[in-house]
Amino acid sequence: MASPPAYERYQKLALIGSGGMAEVFLGVQLGDEAFHQLVVIKRIRPDFLGQAQAQRMFVDEARTVAKLSHPNIVRIHDLRALDDGLCIAMEYVDGESLSALLRVLAQRGERLPCPIACRLMVQACDALHAAHTAVDSQGLPLGLVHRDVSPNNLMLDRSGFLKVIDFGI
């Protein structure tokens, strides 16, 4: 069985978030032999499609984060031009943001227990340290800075493992 055409390899299922310049969808990656895998698909918002600087920033984000290999940083799978513009396909984290967890705890009048908060912050710091000290193939520093470290950009999977997301636009 042949691989699906590039434009058919990813299907958007549902909008899960929108920011200043990009939209984020739950999606599925389709492969041979009925293989499929949940992914997150990030695309430039339609009102920014004609802006060269936005496109450049988007591509830079994908290329930069794809160079990072750390268990606490969400993996980039692909950068593709789809019918509705450039899209980044990335690892799907089955869970919630730290922000969502903190909101639920606040509604219950509870706080995140200190040992759990410390464990999560160690994981976040490990990821950020890996990004800040990353080097290219010639050993030169990539000079990466996250620019938006917040509970919204710290995802927790169902086992409580933290992943840093959204290094770009």
Residues annotated as catalytic (active site), given as ranges: 148
Which tokens is 151 given? 């509970």
Which tokens is 106 given? 């606040």
Report the amino acid identity of residue 25.
F
**Hunting for tokens 């004609």 — which residue is that?**
50
DSSP alpha helix (H) spans, 81-156: 98-107, 114-132
**β partners of residue 82:** 85
| Residue 1 to residue 31: CA distance in whole angstroms | 10
| Residue 144 to residue 152: CA distance in whole angstroms | 19
| Residue 164 to residue 169: CA distance in whole angstroms | 14
